[in-house]
Amino acid sequence: VLNVVLKSATVESADAVAAESLRITRHLGEPGGLVFAGRKGELEVASGATYDAVTETLHAKHVGAHTWKGDVDAAGATLKNARLIRGAVQDAEEVSTTGKIVAGGELEVGGDAQLGGSLFVAGTVMGSGPYVDSSDRRFKTNIRPLNPGSALETLHGLRPVRYEYNRAAFPSRGFTNGTEIGLVAQDVEEVAPELVVTDRDGFKYVSYARIGVLATHALQEMAQEIQALRTENARLAERVAALEASDAARHLGTREDHAKTTAESLLARLEILERRVLTEDSSGVKGEGN
């Protein structure tokens, strides 16, 4: 049958229907169902995909490997169990994960980065600004000074050493190669346990920044001791000067006493001589008269 227009007709048990164009005015299968050509050219209804003509939205239970040539707007939807290879994520308000993020290249953060756990760096940490700890008084409670003498005693108990990292036993740690200087955590823990941190695997780490607090306290105590020694030295210098002045006065008095004694002795001798002279003169006068 050629050049036939069928209206309100039904075609049953036909092996095939061939047409230059085919228009279906009523739905075929479920509303919004998609009709596609099968492997042999037959029309089939997609059971796992629908298309909403009003919102222009395609719904599919499964999407196989394909290539996107344009933009895809998820409109707030969630992409689950996906693996993204190559490409980039731009202008994302938030990237959340319960697993880990592995970056094979550089990681650049344009804003603040907040970590809820520990940060392990297998390499050098470098920055253009200072490293700071939370120190606002409002963050702290039970503030109390260190015990007198404890800081200097702790510093005396530390044992600085030279060492090399065991890179063969811990290849994933990214330890440096060569001789280092520092402290051994187990040794530090014996004298200052507050300077040592232990991870969940039992490995220990030293908080070198906190040693500066002990050094500050120790320097303050040493400065106080030096000032006390200076004060005592000044007091002793005054006593020495006073003793020297007293000794000089004593020696002066001794010399005066000696001079007085000498003068008295001379006067006594002079009196003796005068009496002798008078006696001799008196004897001579008597002899002439006889």
150 burial via Cβ count (<10 Å: 0-12, 13-18, 19+):
middle
Number of Cα atoms under 13 Å in the Cβ half of residue 126: 2
Q: The pTM is what?
A: 0.54
Question: CATH no. for residue 190?
Answer: 1.10.10
Structure tokens at 3: 């050049």
Question: For residue 23, what pLDDT is reported?
Answer: 61
Query: Does 42 reside within a domain?
Result: yes
Which of 26, 55, 84 marks a domain boundary?
55
Q: For residue 289, what pLDDT is reported?
A: 46
The answer to whether position 268 is within a domain reads no
The answer to whether residue 203 is domain-embedded is: yes
Domain residues for 205?
146-254
Residue ranges for the chain with pLDDT beneath 50: 285-290
Question: Given phi > 0 = left and psi -120 to 50 = alpha, else beta, which region is 64?
Answer: beta
pLDDT digits (tens, 9 = 90+) for 131-172: 888 899 999 999 999 888 889 999 999 999 999 999 999 998
In a domain, 23, yes or no: yes
Instruction: State residue 285's pLDDT score.
Output: 47
The count of domains in the chain is: 2
Rounded to whole angstroms, how far apart are CA atoms 16 and 37? 13
| Amino acid code (one letter) for 242 | A
172 in a domain, yes or no?
Answer: yes
User: What local confidence, expressed as pLDDT, does residue 31 receive?
Assistant: 60
Q: What is the pLDDT of residue 25?
A: 54
Establish if 267 belongs to a structural domain: no
pLDDT of amino acid 244? 78
What's residue 28's pLDDT?
56
